[in-house]
Amino acid sequence: MTRKKIVAATGCPTGIAHTFMAAEALTKAAEKLDVDIKVETHGQVGVENELTEEEIREADGVIIAADKNVNSDRFHGKPLVNASVSRGIKASEELINQILNEEATIHEVKGYEASNANEAPHTETTQKGEKGQGLRSVYNNLMNGVSHMLPVVVGGGVLTALSFLFGIHSANPDHESYNEFAAFLNNVGGLAFSLMVPILAAFIAESIAKRPGMIVGFVGGLLADQGGAGFLGGILAGFAAGYIIILLQFLLKRLPSSLDGLKSIFLYPVIGIFLIGGFMTLFNVPVEALNTALMDFLSNMQSSNPIILGIVVGAMCGFDLGGPVNKAAYLTGTALLSDGNFYFMAGVSAACIAPPLLTAFGTVFFRKYFTEEERSAGMANFALGSTHITEGAIPFAAKSPLVVIPIIMFGSAISAVLTYLFDIQVPAPHGGFLVLPVVTGAFQWVLAILIGSLAGAVIYGMYRKKLAQKTT
């Protein structure tokens, strides 16, 4: 019997860990089920192992395990299973079996033949067993913006943070501690960081309406940034820009096809920028007020209720290990960084670093209760945790999520609470221990992370010991 052929695409917002973990899980599941599979990954360095038109045409089905835009239009006419990247890791066999059992719905893209132009075709796919596809679409559009924004945030944030090594006022030419190189780092990093909101909005819009939406979204993001609406305004501008272009495509679809070029290069940008300008003029003021209220609330909670804030932040970061809840805390931290608040991100970073270290310490202290493969993964997690890659804890959590995830949340919460109590500042949005030179209170920060990680590791190790004793 001829082996079934499946193609897949994986992608997560950061493009660092989930993307490749899902690809590995799907490959292993395909080997087990005697299926040929090729997995295309959409990581931070771009598309790797790219699928060809011939491979897509010959495939018996398609699996998309992604939380970002992976250009699903090219799978028009194929049986397709659409899932989150976390399901690609945890339920890879189930996704493949949906193809094998012919449970996947045919992926239909209206106007696909015209989609090689710059217009965005309308996609309709309803997967059996997948609820809330509308919400997933919104989430994927948002995460497409986030994935493109993160390199700018990290690059700009770290360069700006490095400038503080020369003194907190070293970039100010009127201050006695002024340093020309520090000013250079601060200026370049600040410029890169200032692109955060426009790029976020541009790529949310691009995910919705392809290239025509991108420029309108970028302008909307600039307006949000300059108008004080900040991060929340950028999200609003991105979605508004995308759907403005979708509306224009609907209203202008009766124009002769000979004017398609005119629409793309003239009508969409001119009318789209005009409309997003009017939209943001109306909404900038209320969104700015909401944004300010949210930032003030979080800033006040830092000083008045650091324990409660730490518990909330730690629980969010440990709950889904790089998923939507974790990203909500992380993105709040990056938004506060842009406002000069370096305290909130310190707790977020600590809570994100703790989970992989927790599992790593667990495999060291309770070595005999883990398999050789788990011990190897644990050693790797020392490196992953130290560089702020939370996803290293996922393989451990996936085996007993109802027990392990609460333990991870507990450890992360301890680290976050101690970080806020120690009043630590972390001006860089990523990097883990690599950014220790720019951390205010670096020793206390490492101590907070280690205490949370070790506390969780002991509980996790005791659980594995008890589990082993039950099975013997």
Positions marked catalytic? 12
- For the chain, the first-to-last Cα distance in angstroms comes to 42
Beta strands 5-11 and 36-43 are parallel
For residue 93, give the nearest of 125, 55, 65, 60 by alpha carbon. 65
Which residues 6+ apart lie within 8 Å of 10 measured at CB? 18, 19, 20, 22, 23, 26, 39, 40, 41, 42, 65, 66, 70, 85, 88
Degrees, nearest 5: CA angle 401-402-406: 90
354 within 8 A of 411, measured Cβ to Cβ: yes
445 within 8 A of 348, measured Cβ to Cβ: no
310 within 8 A of 448, measured Cβ to Cβ: no
Write the DSSP assignment of 284-316 as a string of letters. HHHHHHHHHHHHHHHHHHHHH-HHHHHHHHHHH
Q: How far is CA 337 from CA 197, 257, 275, 340, 366, in A?
A: 13, 47, 30, 5, 38
Element (H, E) at 220: helix 196-226
Element (H, E) at 41: strand 36-43
Degrees, nearest 5: CA angle 348-291-285: 165
Q: Which two tokens stand for residue 294?
A: 């949210």
397 within 8 A of 411, measured Cβ to Cβ: no
62 within 8 A of 80, measured Cβ to Cβ: yes
For residue 327, give the nearest of 181, 161, 145, 179 by alpha carbon. 145
Helix/strand/coil for 201: helix
C-alpha 386/C-alpha 64 separation (Å) is 30
Number of other CB atoms surrounding residue 115 within 10 Å: 18
C-alpha 223/C-alpha 226 separation (Å) is 5
Question: What phi and psi, each to the nearest 5 degrees, are found at residue 455?
Answer: -60, -45
